[in-house]
A = this chain, B = another copy of it.
Amino acid sequence: MKVIAFDTFGTVADWYTGVSHVLAQTFPQIDSSQLARDWRRTYGPVLAEVEAGDREWTMLDDLHRETLERLLRERYDVCATPAQLDVAVHAWHVLPGWPDSSSGLHRLKAKYTICALSNGNVALLNEMAKASDLPWDFVGGSDLWRRYKPASEVYLGLARLMQVHPSEVLMVATHVSDLAAARSFGLRTAYVERPSEWGPEPKDEAPNPADDFHVRGIDELATQLGC
């Protein structure tokens, strides 16, 4: 194993805390905890629309903006201003890392090549890395491939750029679908528990025993890998 690829939203960064905090400031009249979770639920379906070819490849910021605007209008009866949408969409660029993320990545970096492998784009991921001290060797943003996970091009594209066999890449995520896709393309997998990913809402995930590693955080992954 030479390369470790990390999902970011939820796995490395705490989207619920970062996004609900900004939503509370931007839309004080709304239950920001509920809105953050509702917004996040639009993410999978809209990315799937793009991957199904129902619409052109579109950057995540634009998808986030469109889904939030519609959600506010249709479910919360709120007409957001462009400036409010800008602020909310930007929250995803500066999500806080989980407490173990930065220290765990620093430890892993000494022995492995560590990469973000995310549906965020390169500039978003760079901004998050600088804000939360995530010392990526390489930032694998979706705009490199103009594809979203779980497309094979993303996982295999990273292996190709790193000049390694897919089995030399460990995919790390807190989402079983991401890991199932990675495994189907020949990568190894590590499941990270993030029980508070959805804030007050219990997480509905059943990890697959086929994962090579199962850890509570990135520091624990570093320990299990002898870093």
Contact = CB atoms under 8 A, between A and B. Distances in A.
Interface in A113-144: 113, 121-123, 126, 129-130, 135, 137-139, 141, 143-144
Interface residues of A, number: 18
Contacts of A135: 135
A161 interface: yes
A81 interface: no
Contact of A113 (B126, B137, B138, B141): B126
A130 B143 contact: no
A184 interface: no
Given A113-B126, A126-B138, A141-B161, 17 more contacts: A113-B130, A121-B161, A121-B163, A122-B138, A122-B161, A122-B162, A123-B161, A123-B163, A123-B164, A126-B162, A129-B137, A130-B137, A135-B135, A138-B138, A138-B139, A143-B161, A144-B144
Nearest to A123: B163
Interface of A: 113, 121-123, 126, 129-130, 135, 137-139, 141, 143-144, 161-164
Work out how many copies of this chain go into the complex: 2
B137 A126 contact: yes
Nearest to A122: B161
Main secondary structure of the interface of A (DSSP, over half): mixed
A164 B122 CA distance: 12
Among A113, A135, A137, A162, the most chain B Cβ lie within 10 Å of the Cβ of A137
Contacts of A129: 137
A122 B139 CA distance: 11
A210 to B, nearest CB: 28
Nearest to A125: B138
A193 to B, nearest CB: 29
A169 to B, nearest CB: 12
A163 B162 CA distance: 24
22 contacts: A113-B126, A113-B130, A121-B161, A121-B163, A122-B138, A122-B161, A122-B162, A123-B161, A123-B162, A123-B164, A126-B137, A126-B138, A126-B162, A129-B137, A130-B137, A135-B135, A137-B139, A138-B138, A138-B139, A141-B161, A143-B161, A144-B161
